[in-house]
Amino acid sequence: MKIMYQLKSNEVLRYGDLKRNIPGITHKMLSLHLSDLEQDGIVQRVEYPQIPPKVEYSLTAQGQSLLPILEAMCLWGVKNQP
């Protein structure tokens, strides 16, 4: 959810920007989650052939369609906290 929120807020982000914007996430966890989201068609990864390598991430149309559901789940969680 944090990755999707960052991509929603910024539309396109590089890996380093995502890592900076999500406090406490490790390189391994961020890479794993981005890979899973890409395989599921939720995140698009664009790699530019340059040195140093440049990779950008953004939400796909399918990922955008999940945002209202995630927002509703967050609101539910806030309303139902003990």
Domain holding 56, by residue range, is: 2-79
By residue count, the chain amounts to 82
What are the C-alpha distances in Å from 3 to residues 27, 42, 52?
Answer: 13, 11, 23
Number of domains observed in the structure of the chain: 1
| pLDDT at 63 exceeding the cut of 90 | yes
27 within 8 A of 35, measured Cβ to Cβ: no
CA-CA-CA-CA torsion sign (39, 10, 8, 33):
positive
Question: Tens digit of pLDDT for each residue in 28-59?
Answer: 999 999 999 999 999 999 999 888 889 999 99
Question: Dihedral of the CA atoms 52, 53, 57, 61 (nearest 10)?
Answer: 140
What does the pLDDT read at residue 14? Answer: 93
* CATH code of the domain containing 64: 1.10.10.10
Three-class SS of residue 50?
A: coil
